[in-house]
Amino acid sequence: MNQLMNEPAGRLDNRPEWIKIISRYNFPDPGRSWWQVINSIVPYVILWIAMIFSLRISYWLTLGLSVITAGFMVRIFIIFHDCGHGSFFKSARLNTIVGTITGLMTFTPFRMWTYEHKIHHQTVGNLDKRGIGDVMTLTVEEYLNLPWLKKFGYRLYRNPIFLFLVAPPLIFIFLHRATKRYMSLKEKLLQHLSNIAVAAFVTGLVLLMGWKAYLMIQLPVLYIGTVQGVWLFYVQHQFRDVKWERTEKWDYKNIALAGSSMFKLPSLLNWFTGNIGFHHIHHLSPMIPNYKLKSCHYENTMFSDIVPITFITAFRSLRLRLWDEKRQVLVGFREI
């Protein structure tokens, strides 16, 4: 699929219309990519310095700045995300270098996350291939057949308090440090090297500013940023009319457009989140850099029928827990 997406437009005359469309957007603009690196990382560093000085004035001021800083952390993660897809720069080596650095800044190992996220793109919306890079979702039948203790565990996992307030920092601080069974010896070594780099980065900041000041700044920034990130990912694939299919009926284009949401955010939040709300476009072609997703959607009539999820209506997805195969919708516990 990636090879097909990278074909020059002139060679796609006999291809489906949607492939012709994405071929006009699925390549990076070096100037825009570097400008995004600058306008994301530089303000992030400046805000960190401002937060250090704000500790001498008021911790409430520090916490206020942490909200803005966390927004830039999310934006840096989007750069990391695009580098993982190889869509941010033309050079694979440059994608790896920038992806590794931005991964260090967001406590996310580049190699492991990139591998699992590619699996997510290959299996999203496939009921027979759940389990990697997604929010665990059971079908109604699977849930009803569970013993009571596992039902309780699933209800706990899908509780918004755990899913959005407890799990995000645990994922980024602890789970991202662990090796996985599927990893080769080389991949495990790279994972350990990533952990050492994170530890060295944190140690350097602690030696520079003291452990107390570091934690007073890093913890709220990391917490707010990870909560935002997990919420975004959840809304992108957990909404009432999302499309899921068994393998025999799974179709790349249809699942990309119906299995991923268009999350319509206010302009400022759309900027901080790197247009990732146009997630249906991203899944149609992960080779489109984030700054072209919005243009691809609005410049082509084939996407005009997409019904967006708004900042307000997104909260309705919080009560959705299970996939009802008979009705072909996500439902809440009360509905069964």
Whole-number pLDDT of residue 10: 45
> Measured between alpha carbons, how far is residue 199 from residues 27, 47, 218 in Å?
35, 22, 14
The one-character DSSP state at 26 is S
Cβ atoms 288, 19 nearer than 8 A: no
Which residues, including other chains, have CB under 8 Å from residue 182's CB and lie 6 or more apart? none
- The residue among 255, 299, 300 whose CA lies nearest residue 280 is 255
- The residue among 114, 89, 116, 87 whose CA lies nearest residue 100 is 114
**Residue position matching structure tokens 């149609």:** 284
d(CA 235, CA 261): 7
Using CA of residue 43, residue 49, residue 51, residue 54, what is the dihedral sign? negative
Whole-number pLDDT of residue 330: 95
Cβ atoms 134, 283 nearer than 8 A: no
Whole-number pLDDT of residue 313: 86
d(CA 22, CA 256): 13
SS3 65: helix
Whole-number pLDDT of residue 312: 84
Secondary structure, 3-state, 123-158? HCCECCCCCCCCCCCEEHHHHHCCCHHHHHHHHHHH
The one-character DSSP state at 264 is E
DSSP string, 313-333: GGGGGGG--EEETTTTEEE-G
Angle at 34 between CA 29 and CA 36, to 5 degrees: 95
The one-character DSSP state at 36 is H
Whole-number pLDDT of residue 271: 97
pLDDT in tens, the chain (336 residues): 544 444 444 444 566 889 999 999 999 999 999 999 999 999 999 999 999 999 999 999 999 999 999 999 999 999 999 999 999 999 999 999 999 999 999 999 999 999 999 999 999 999 999 988 889 999 999 999 999 999 999 999 999 999 999 999 999 999 999 999 889 999 999 999 999 999 999 999 999 999 999 999 999 999 999 999 999 999 999 998 899 999 999 999 999 999 999 999 999 999 999 999 999 999 999 999 999 999 999 999 999 889 999 888 899 899 999 999 999 999 999 988
> Measured between alpha carbons, how far is residue 313 from residues 225, 262, 272, 310, 331 in Å?
21, 12, 20, 5, 15
Q: Which structure tokens are listed for 218?
A: 């890093």
Whole-number pLDDT of residue 13: 56
Cβ atoms 234, 168 nearer than 8 A: no
**Annotated domain spans of the chain:** 2-335
**DSSP-H helix ranges across 124-266:** 140-144, 148-158, 160, 167-173, 185-209, 211-237, 252-258
Torsion of CA 301, 303, 307, 311, to 10 degrees: -110
d(CA 166, CA 93): 35
- The residue among 67, 80, 72 whose CA lies nearest residue 33 is 80
